[in-house]
Amino acid sequence: MAMKDLKIVGQPVKLRDLDTHVTGETVFYEDVRVPRMLHLKMHRSRYPHARILGIDTSQALSSPGVVTVLTHEDLPGKKLYNALAGAGVGPEDEPVLAFDKVRWKGESVAAVIAETPEQANAAVAKIKVEYEELPAVFDVEEAIKDGAPNLTAHWPNNHYVYPDDHRAAQIRYGDVEKAFAEADHIVEDSYQTQPIEQAPMETNGCIAVPEGDGRITVYSNTQALQFSLDVTAGILDMPTSKLRFVGGTVGGGFGGKVDIQPEPITTLAALRTGRPVKFKYTREEEMQVSSSRSAWRVYVKDGVMNDGRIIARKVTTYQDSGAYLRFSSYACMKHCGHMPGPYTIPNVSVDSIVVFTNRTPSNAMRGFGVMAGSFALEVQMDKIAETIGMDPWELRLINAYREGDMKAHRKEVEDAGMVESILAAAEMAGKQLPENFRNMSSLDRKAG
């Protein structure tokens, strides 16, 4: 139950930034005024999969207003990165700027830094990249078939490899096959979500400002300041003490600004030119180039008894990571750990697999890894109800986890409130439930 005797926690005090939001005085990163600022624009891959035979920046370099052009050859540190490398996630698979191949349409190839955005755009168009187009793959299940086009030697079968050589993040709890054999009904289906754009009103961007003492201040709209700082320093092989990230007031995130895309290259540009540099994603880049929410394909197979008890649930999920790993292995583990949803099921098997395809790399978005799971499971619950001829509310209440139940990942349920939420929603919807259901609570049963 809620805490008593609170004075200010629990009160609807006004939102702190609202006073300046309504007058337009809130300072977002882009509202910082910096003199002598240069502008960065990116030349991007036209193909979803191609070998790079050559990059010619000479015409761009001599284009009006251009200060410099950066390609992979200008990177002082690593050519490949993964933002979670510091947390032990690897291998680092994503080029900071493409060199041997491009693996998605829109991949960064060369950065132009010029006096004005228009001059930078004009020079971007003058960069000549010679490509040899390669076959591409866009479907998760096609991608892991033998003979599918391979994106990178890091992932010989186009899927991530978890510890102990597992192709999936997995849960093994009880014996699903035995339970399927005992079940009164088997209910199976597959569920598909598509890539979705976070679409914050403020696109990704930053301004990197050399401070004269060798340090760079980066005004950024990242959702994670130190994380962005550490990753930027890592990519550029520079001491973290040389960087300062300023932000904290962001025009919407929804997961779309944990990516650390603009900061490293903009910081490098500021280091190289000795001048402030701004890199702001256009709306088109935000739509096409910034990470999307992954597409997920989820297969669910349930063993159900006539009385509504789900006794076994087997889930196989393919997460469409796009061309590179980014945070997908994390999301797939989260997806895996979320199964079998808010229900106590004694036999559970989950395989969630990160698959690489030639599409825009995906990354975090509101409900990362969980949204597609909740979608699949809750549409599946209605199919179960229909199959066994049971009221869908009663089905969920029978199976909802209670305090102290054992979850499939072997942790006891704490702070349970699923039953209460279902009952409250039923009441709001005017749903008449039998009394034995109305009296249920999260404390009323401990699974044996």
Partner 1 sequence: MASGIVSIKVNGRAEEVVTGAVTTLQDVLRNNLDYTSVKDGCSQGGCGACSVIVDGELRLSCLTPVQEVDGSEVVTLEGLNLSNSITALQQKFIEKYAAQCGFCTPGMMVAITALLDRNANPSRDEIAEALAGNICRCTGYLPIIEAVESIVAEMAGIAGD
Partner 2 sequence: MTKLRGTGFAAVNYPTGMHLGGDPTQSLVHATTSGNFVVTMSSVDLGQGLKTILAQIAAEALGVPYDTVIVDTGDTDTGPHCTGTFASRTTHRAGNAVIMAAEEARKVMLEVAAEKLEVGVEDLETDGLGNIHVKGVEDKAISVAETAGAAHFELGRTISGRGIYLKPPSPMDPETGESDPDSTQAHACTVAEVEVDTETGDVQVLAIKSAYEVGQQVNPELVKGQIVGGAWMGIGHALQETTAPYYPAIDHAPRDFQTYQMPGAVDMPEVECEVLEIASRNGPFGAKGVGEMVTNSPIPAIVNAINNALGVRITQIPVTPEVVLRALDEKAAGGG
Q: Which residues bind partner 1 (CB under 8 A)?
A: 14-15, 17-28, 30-31, 33, 199-203, 250-254, 280, 282-284
To the nearest whole angstrom, how small is the minimum distance from the Cβ of residue 21 to partner 2?
Answer: 9
DSSP state string for 394-416: HHHHHHB--TTPBPTTS-B--S-
Which residues have CB under 8 Å from 128's CB, separation 6+?
A: 54, 55, 56, 59
To the nearest whole angstrom, how small is the minimum distance from the Cβ of residue 421 to partner 1?
Answer: 20
Considering CB distances under 5 to 8 angstroms, the limit depending on partner class, which of partner 2, partner 1, none binds residue 196? partner 2
To the nearest whole angstrom, how small is the minimum distance from the Cβ of residue 2 to partner 2?
Answer: 4
Considering CB distances under 5 to 8 angstroms, the limit depending on partner class, which of partner 2, partner 1, none binds residue 248? partner 2
CB nearer to partner 2: give 276 or 373. 373
To the nearest whole angstrom, how small is the minimum distance from the Cβ of residue 354 to partner 2?
Answer: 14
To the nearest whole angstrom, how small is the minimum distance from the Cβ of residue 104 to partner 2?
Answer: 9
Considering CB distances under 5 to 8 angstroms, the limit depending on partner class, which of partner 1, partner 2, none binds residue 30? partner 1
Pairing of strands 66-70, 108-114: antiparallel
At 206, list the tokens.
Answer: 């930053």
At 40, list the tokens.
Answer: 């960065």
Q: Are 264 and 257 in contact (CB under 8 A)?
A: no
CB nearer to partner 2: give 146 or 165. 165
Considering CB distances under 5 to 8 angstroms, the limit depending on partner class, which of partner 1, partner 2, none binds residue 378? partner 2
Q: Are 219 and 209 in contact (CB under 8 A)?
A: yes
Considering CB distances under 5 to 8 angstroms, the limit depending on partner class, which of partner 2, partner 1, none binds residue 125? none
To the nearest whole angstrom, how small is the minimum distance from the Cβ of residue 250 to partner 1?
Answer: 6
Q: How far apart are CA 231 and CA 235, in angstroms?
A: 6
Other CB atoms within 10 A of residue 2 CB: 6
Q: Are 322 and 362 in contact (CB under 8 A)?
A: yes
Q: Are 60 and 127 in contact (CB under 8 A)?
A: yes
Task: Output the CA–CA distances (angstroms, integers) from residue 93 to 46, 80, 155, in the order listed.
Answer: 20, 6, 9
CB nearer to partner 2: give 152 or 228. 228
**What is the dihedral angle through the alpha carbons of 248, 254, 259, 264, rounded to the nearest 10 degrees?**
-30
Site of tokens 């890592």: 234
CB nearer to partner 2: give 11 or 54. 11
Q: How far apart are CA 343 and CA 108, in angstroms?
A: 44
Considering CB distances under 5 to 8 angstroms, the limit depending on partner class, which of partner 1, partner 2, none binds residue 33? partner 1
CB nearer to partner 2: give 55 or 258. 258
CB nearer to partner 2: give 63 or 203. 203
Considering CB distances under 5 to 8 angstroms, the limit depending on partner class, which of partner 2, partner 1, none binds residue 203? partner 1
Residue 69 pairs in a beta bridge with 112
Per-position b or e across 51-83, b if 16+ CB within 10 A of its CB: ebeebebeebeebebbbbbbbbebbeeebbbbb
Other CB atoms within 10 A of residue 248 CB: 10
To the nearest whole angstrom, how small is the minimum distance from the Cβ of residue 376 to partner 1?
Answer: 24
To the nearest whole angstrom, how small is the minimum distance from the Cβ of residue 19 to partner 1?
Answer: 7
To the nearest whole angstrom, how small is the minimum distance from the Cβ of residue 14 to partner 2?
Answer: 8
To the nearest whole angstrom, how small is the minimum distance from the Cβ of residue 272 to partner 1?
Answer: 24
Considering CB distances under 5 to 8 angstroms, the limit depending on partner class, which of partner 1, partner 2, none binds residue 163? partner 2
Considering CB distances under 5 to 8 angstroms, the limit depending on partner class, which of partner 1, partner 2, none binds residue 429? partner 2
CB nearer to partner 2: give 236 or 426. 426
CB nearer to partner 2: give 3 or 53. 3
CB nearer to partner 2: give 71 or 203. 203
Considering CB distances under 5 to 8 angstroms, the limit depending on partner class, which of partner 1, partner 2, none binds residue 9? partner 2
CB nearer to partner 2: give 38 or 289. 289
Residue 196 pairs in a beta bridge with 293
Burial of 433 (0-12, 13-18, 19+ CB in 10 A): middle
